[in-house]
Chain A
Amino acid sequence: MEKTSMFSIHEGKPIRCKAAVSRKPGEALVIEEIHVDPPQAYEVRIKIICTSLCHTDVSFSKIDSGPLARFPRILGHEAVGVIESIGEHVNGFQQGDIVLPVFHPHCEECRDCKSSKSNWCARFADDFLSNTRRYGMTSRFKDSFGEDIYHFLFVSSFSEYTVVDIAHLVKISPDIPVDKAALLSCGVSTGIGAAWKVANVEKGSTVAVFGLGAVGLAVGEGARLRGAGKIIGVDLNPEKFELGKKFGFTSFINPTLCGEKKISEVIKEMTGGGVDYSFECVGLPSLLTEAFSSTRTGSGKTVVLGIDKHLTPVSLGSFDLLRGRHVCGSLFGGLKPKLDIPILVDHYLKKELNLDSFITHELKFEEINKAFDLLVQGKSLRCILWMNK
Chain B
Amino acid sequence: MDKASITEGKPIRCKAAILRKAGEPLVIEEIQVDPPQAYEVRIKILCTSLCHTDVTFWKLDSGPLARFPRILGHEAVGVVESIGEKVDGFKQGDVVLPVFHPQCEECKECISPKSNWCTKYTNDYLSNTRRYGMTSRFKDSRGEDIHHFIFVSSFTEYTVVDIAHLVKISPEIPVDIAALLSCSVATGLGAAWKVADVEEGSTVVIFGLGAVGLAVAEGVRLLGAAKIIGVDLNPAKFEIGKRFGITDFVNPALCGEKTISEVIREMTDVGADYSFECIGLASLMEEAFKSTRPGSGKTIVLGMEQKALPISLGSYDLLRGRTVCGTLFGGLKPKLDIPILVDRYLKKELNLEDLITHELSFEEINKAFHLLAEGNSIRCIIWMDK
Stretch at the interface among B27-35, B231-239, B323-331, B361-369: B323-331
Closest Cβ–Cβ distance, residue A275 to chain B (whole Å): 13
- Considering the complex, which residues of chain A in the window 309-362 have a beta carbon less than 8 Å from any beta carbon of chain B? 311-331, 334
B321–A299 CB distance below 8 A: no
CB neighbors of B among A272-331 (8 A): 273, 285, 288, 297-299, 304-305, 307-308, 311-331
Residues of B within 8 Å of A126, CB to CB, are 294
Beta-carbon contact of A319 and B305 below 8 Å: yes
Complex contacts, A121 vs chain B, CB 8 Å:
295
- Residue in B116, B312, B324 whose beta carbon sits within 8 Å of that of A321 in the complex: B324
Residue B169 is within 8 A (CB to CB) of chain A in the complex: no
* Contact call A318/B327, Cβ cutoff below 8 A: no
Docked Cα-Cα span, A328 to B316, in Å, equals: 11
Determine which residue in A285, A312, A318 has the highest number of CB atoms from chain B within 10 A of its CB, and name it. Answer: A318
Q: Are A325 and B320 in contact (CB under 8 A)?
A: no
- Decide if B315 touches A285 in the complex (CB within 8 Å): yes
**A298 in complex: contacting residue of B115, B315, B318, CB < 8 Å:** B115
Query: For B119, what are the chain A residues with a Cβ–Cβ distance below 8 Å?
Result: 273, 297-298
Q: Give A282 to B154 CA distance when docked, in angstroms.
A: 49
CA distance A313 to B116 in the complex (A): 29
Are B309 and A312 closer than 8 Å at their CB atoms?
A: no
B contacts with A: majority SS = loop
Which of the residues A115, A285, A331 comes within 8 Å of B320, measured between beta carbons? A331
| Residue contact B315 to A307, C-beta cutoff 8 Å | yes
Q: Give the chain A neighbours of B313 by CB distance below 8 A.
A: 313-316, 327
Does B308 count as interface, using CB distance less than 8 angstroms? yes
Alpha-carbon separation in the docked complex, A319 to B307 (Å): 10
A331 lies within 8 A of B319 (CB): yes
Question: Are A325 and B315 CB-contacts (below 8 A) given A120-B294, A318-B301, A318-B310?
Answer: no
From A112, A117, A298, A313, give the contact of B314 (CB < 8 A): A313
Q: Does B149 contact A (CB under 8 A)?
A: no
* Cα distance A329–B321 in the bound complex, in angstroms: 5
> Would B304 and A322 count as touching, CB distance under 8 A?
yes
**Residue pair A119, B321 in contact (C-beta under 8 Å):** yes
Determine whether A125 belongs to the interface, using a CB cutoff of 8 Å to chain B: yes
Contact check, A313 vs B320: say whether CB atoms are below 8 A apart: no
Residues on A with beta carbons closer than 8 Å to the beta carbon of B301: 318, 321-322
In the complex, whether B139 has a CB less than 8 A from a CB of chain A is no
Interface contact A327-B308, CB-CB below 8 Å: no
CB neighbours of B115 from chain A (8 A): 298-299, 324
Q: Convert A91-103 into 0s and 1s, putting 1 for each residue whose CB lies closer than 8 angstroms to a CB of B.
A: 0000000000000
Q: What's the least CB distance linking B133 to chain A, in Å?
A: 22
* Chain B residues positioned under 8 Å from A316 (CB to CB): 310-311, 313, 324
Taking CB atoms, residues of chain A closer than 8 Å to B327 are 322, 324
- Taking the closest CB of chain B, its distance from the CB of A203, in whole angstroms, is 14
Indicate whether A318 sits within 8 Å of B318 (C-beta atoms), given known contacts A125-B294, A298-B109, A299-B115.
no
Question: Which residue from A119, A297, A312, A318 sits with its C-beta under 8 Å from B117?
Answer: A297
> In this assembly, does A118 line the interface, its C-beta being within 8 Å of a C-beta of chain B?
yes
In A83-134, the 8 Å CB interface with B consists of 112, 115, 117-122, 125-126
Query: Do A119 and B315 contact each other (CB < 8 Å), given the known contacts A299-B112, A318-B326, A325-B325?
Result: no
Residues in A neighbouring B318, C-beta threshold 8 A: 304, 314, 327-329
Per-position binary interface string of chain A over residues 349-379, scored 1 when its CB falls under 8 Å from any chain B CB and 0 otherwise: 0000000000000000000000000000000
- Distance in angstroms between the alpha carbons of A122 and B297 in the assembled complex: 13
- Smallest CB gap from A122: residue in B: B270
Tally chain B residues at the interface, Cβ within 8 Å.
41
Q: Select which of A125, A315, A327 is within 8 A of B323 by beta carbon.
A: A327
Question: In the bound complex, do residue A314 and residue B305 qualify as a contact, i.e. CB atoms below 8 Å apart?
Answer: no
Among A120, A319, A330, residue most surrounded by chain B Cβ atoms (within 10 Å): A120
Minimum Cβ distance to chain B for residue A187 (Å): 15
Asked if residues B321 and A334 are in contact (CB atoms below 8 Å), the reply is: yes
- B213 CB to closest chain A CB (Å) equals 16
Contacts of A112 in B (CB 8 A): 293, 295-296
**CB distance B319 to A329 under 8 Å?**
yes
Q: A191 to chain B: closest CB distance in Å?
A: 15
Task: Kindly state the separation between the CA atoms of A120 and B326 in the bound complex, as whole angstroms.
Answer: 23
CB distance from A287 to the nearest CB of B (A): 12
**For the complex, what is the distance from the CA of A126 to the CA of B317, rounded to whole Å?**
11
- Could you tell me if B322 and A324 are in contact, using CB atoms closer than 8 angstroms? no
Inter-chain CA distance A120–B297, complex, in Å, is 11
CA distance A380 to B322 in the complex (A): 32
Nearest-Cβ distance from residue A59 to partner chain B, whole angstroms: 14
> How many Å lie between the Cα of A327 and that of B299 in the bound state?
10
User: Shortest Cβ distance from B105 into chain A, in angstroms?
Assistant: 14
CA distance A288 to B309 in the complex (A): 18
A314 touches B312 (CB 8 A): yes
CA distance A118 to B232 in the complex (A): 29
B122 at interface by CB-CB < 8 Å:
yes
- The verdict on B46 contacting chain A, using a C-beta distance below 8 Å, is no
Of the candidates B282, B294, B308, B328, the one whose C-beta lies within 8 Å of that of A323 is B328
Q: Is B114 in the interface zone, CB < 8 Å from A?
A: yes
Cβ of B122: which chain A residues have Cβ within 8 Å of it?
Answer: 297-298, 323
A318 to B279, CA, bound (A): 12
| Residue from B116, B270, B316, B319 with most neighbouring chain A CB atoms (10 Å) | B319
Measured CB to CB, the closest approach of chain B to A288, in angstroms, equals: 8
Query: For A330, what are the chain B residues with a Cβ–Cβ distance below 8 Å?
Result: 319, 321
Once A120-B296, A297-B117 are accepted as A-B contacts, the answer to whether A308 and B315 lie under 8 Å apart by CB is yes
Expressed in whole angstroms, the minimum distance between the Cβ of B190 and any Cβ of chain A is 12
What's the minimum C-beta distance from A323 to chain B, rounded to whole angstroms? 6
B26 at interface (Cβ–Cβ under 8 A)?
no
A299–B324 CA distance with the chains assembled, in angstroms: 13
Query: Which residues of chain A come closer than 8 Å to B109, judged between CB atoms?
Result: 298-299
Known contacts A118-B295, A323-B328, A330-B321; A312/B315 CB under 8 A: yes
Apart from A298-B119, A319-B305, 16 more pairs, CB < 8 Å? A125-B294, A273-B119, A299-B109, A311-B315, A311-B316, A314-B313, A318-B308, A318-B309, A318-B311, A319-B304, A322-B327, A322-B328, A323-B122, A324-B116, A324-B331, A334-B321
Which B residues fall within an 8 A CB radius of A? 109, 112, 114-117, 119, 122, 270, 282, 285, 293-296, 301-302, 304-305, 308-328, 331
* 27 A-B contact pairs sorted by A residue (CB < 8 Å): A115-B296, A117-B295, A119-B295, A120-B296, A120-B321, A125-B320, A126-B294, A297-B119, A299-B112, A299-B117, A304-B318, A307-B316, A313-B312, A313-B313, A315-B311, A315-B312, A318-B309, A318-B310, A319-B308, A322-B301, A322-B305, A324-B115, A324-B326, A327-B323, A329-B321, A330-B321, A331-B321
Q: Which 7 A-B pairs have the closest CB atoms?
A: A298-B117, A120-B295, A118-B295, A298-B115, A329-B318, A321-B326, A328-B323
Q: Which residues of A contact B (CB under 8 A)?
A: 112, 115, 117-122, 125-126, 273, 285, 288, 297-299, 304-305, 307-308, 311-331, 334
